[in-house]
Structure 1
């Protein structure tokens, strides 16, 4: 089997268990269960509804904005995003409720979907300045190809830019405040390290977001395998995938905050808000492949494969993620969620499959070879008589 740079598997429990409140299992990296069998994200959801003083936290946000708001209308906050519902919500709130002057920055998807491009343009036309980062296409494809095989997620080079591009643009324009949307680790079941803190730094990225292997680890693997040349490794573009040097960040006083620390994060309400104020539109096909929802993760043709690999590795795909979120926000009961997971989770993302193979420069046989390699190291699949069977399904 090929080398695997996804180092999360070693930390996963051997005994698979599902949350008694939602449908997440303990195979979701960094998810912890309490003595009642309830996952960390559901515990946080309870705290959001019953413990957190949101009025006090919004006052913190107002003070933060007062500290950074420009007097002359110049850009005073960087808002990263693609024009999806969450980006549009955060940018519009900062501009129209808190009087900020956002510079929006977008690390380009691998390939826009039609609805993704439409929403991006609508966001722009709703009155926002956007800087679009388009990395070197040849290098980006090679990194995606490497990440697909070695990390089980071709989408990861997009994650690199999604995190780092905002810091580079903040440094370039002398802006001290970056405002992301949600703390995904906290909201969706990962680390609770920053439950009561509004910000984190780039030093967390490798462990929390990059599966335990850094950008440099992936680039070295590409060089060792002969897929990346020394010249490509030294390209100026490579630095856009990594945060600016810590000394630069410290000298310029750049800080990244989460909007979800200050305001209760409810994705479905963000959808309604973005549709009303920024022209956001849901998937015209009625639902996205692999799930029942139609308003999340619409931008990129690669998104479906990001979720499908999650299903291969951990037994939880796109529908499982949506159900977890909706149960925690009281939009679904657990029984309703289980029925949806059983119906849609693991549905193959066929619509953009030919594009995906072409983009990575692989064939159907190699695609399924990689799928099998991750099912072998997972704790939720077994193979018998040449057939794969998911051994742990929420019930």
Structure 2
């Protein structure tokens, strides 16, 4: 059976464009023309990858490099960063993220209430450390010498050992120091020692952000734990972390630096709350305020919510407690609501309220919220005062 060329054309066009056709006038050869109506216009589509992808492209690590990702927003040394390869910069950022995530969890170095003094960085590691501290939320004061109670210093040492070259990195803020050794291989950089934390008694409560190393993949094992040199404490808890080839995560899906620090701040807040033994039966309820956020994902408080917190803080006295209830969800569990509660806690800390005076209430089930209700949960703040102070 002979199939008309026009029918084949009609079928192909319908398949490609998904449009209707009808018969038009015949041509000079007596063949029927088919008119194609409403042909879709083909438009190029631009796929936008995360900004860090160009800096993490292992197939061509120096293509499309973006040095701004590793430079401090103010006062960086662009020449030093430009002279450093992208793979090395990425490894330095992993190290800085690991060490700074530990600092964030120390109450005396809470980014909300601490300003660091920093000198202009002169090395690639220094530039990456300062940028990482900015990403962690620290306020930075630029100084030309080592002036300041919270002056930042950092070191990188290379040792030749029987196990091969070992890189030793250290970050110090005042008397607090975090230090760890790392090794390099063809896959990336990995810890090769416990993390040493000195200058604080709260080191054992630090949780290490080691998933960022596992995401590189490979076939190796590294040790994990906190070491407190010079302190009379119990034996450090040590565990082994296995890294496998199947752990390798596409570069554009690896844990973002800001996510690591958000988790560290959350652990810090929840640890403080877990250690607080507050019996509200011994307090009198003074006043209550309700904060409303614009949407479920935002951490921006807005002018009105900030003003409400300021008014509450004006009435603060030593011994008072602010109870923050952020999660009143239908299922009694909401991570984004808890994040807003921690954001409110940080606002109080920024006004000078001690952590011991802040209590985030556990997430509770709310009967008045329908399971499909995705509107932002209100954040309730109740100001309590000890009965003995009334």
The alignment's TM-score, normalised by the length of structure 1, stands at: 0.25
Q: Which has the higher strand share?
A: 2
The alignment's TM-score, normalised by the length of structure 2, stands at: 0.25
Structure number with greater CO (CA < 8 Å, separation at least 6) is: 1
